[in-house]
Amino acid sequence: MTPSVILIGPPGAGKSSVGKALAKSMHVDFADTDSLIEKDLGKSVSQIFVDDGEPFFRTNEERICCAAIETFSGVLSLGGGSVLSQAVRDALKGSGAAIVFLDVSLTVAAPRVGFNRDRPLLLNNPRQQWQTLMEARRPIYESVATIHIEVADDSITHIVKEILSKVVNT
């Protein structure tokens, strides 16, 4: 079985971009749980928030993330808020995968995220919202991560090399 790597972190950390590049370098599949949710529910994450609300989204996110953690082999990127679920945290801890926390500052995340309408939790005062989310989630990210990567403004190639060096040595 191919070793799995699961990427966690806040919006703008580069989970999807790094995940795709990491999967390519490892010659494994890549999946993003937000994309899996969109496929399963037939609409975008932002539209799910608008139409059905955050509780509905979180319930489905938990179901889809837990299933992906249990069955997916390769590189998996989790949505930033998925770790709020105890079931997801338990699945992560029991997965045997390398859980990589991509840590990023607001200064680096802001231009990446763009704080646009596609990020429903960041609509009102987006910089403050991001900071508040990160303050609440940081202890959770740190508690489930087996590898901590400071993203800063490093290139995707550099981040992938750093992850690979730590995954091989884990």
Q: What is the pTM of this model?
A: 0.89
| Inter-CA distances, 47 with 56, 84, 94, 136, 169, Å | 12, 21, 32, 24, 41
Lookup result for tokens 């429903």: 120
pLDDT in tens, the chain (170 residues): 445 899 999 888 889 999 999 999 999 999 999 999 999 999 998 889 889 998 999 999 999 999 999 999 999 999 989 999 999 999 999 999 999 999 987 666 665 555 454 545 445 566 777 778 888 899 999 999 999 999 987 899 999 999 999 987 65
Query: Which region holds residue 43: left if phi is over 0, alpha if psi is between -120 and 50, else beta?
Result: beta
Identify whether the C-beta of residue 25 lies closer than 8 Å to the C-beta of residue 160.
Answer: yes
Contact predicate 141/103, CB 8 Å:
yes
Q: Which residues of 95-115 are buried (b: 16+ CB within 10 A; e: fewer)?
A: bebbbbbbbbbeebbeeebeb
Q: Measuring CA to CA, which residue among 21, 48, 50, 52 is closest to residue 34?
A: 48
Question: What domains, with CATH codes, occur in the chain?
Answer: 5-168 (3.40.50.300)
| Secondary element (H or E) of residue 140 | helix 126-144
Count of Cβ atoms closer than 10 Å to residue 152 Cβ: 12
Question: For residue 43, which of 27, 23, 26, 57 has the smallest C-alpha distance?
Answer: 57
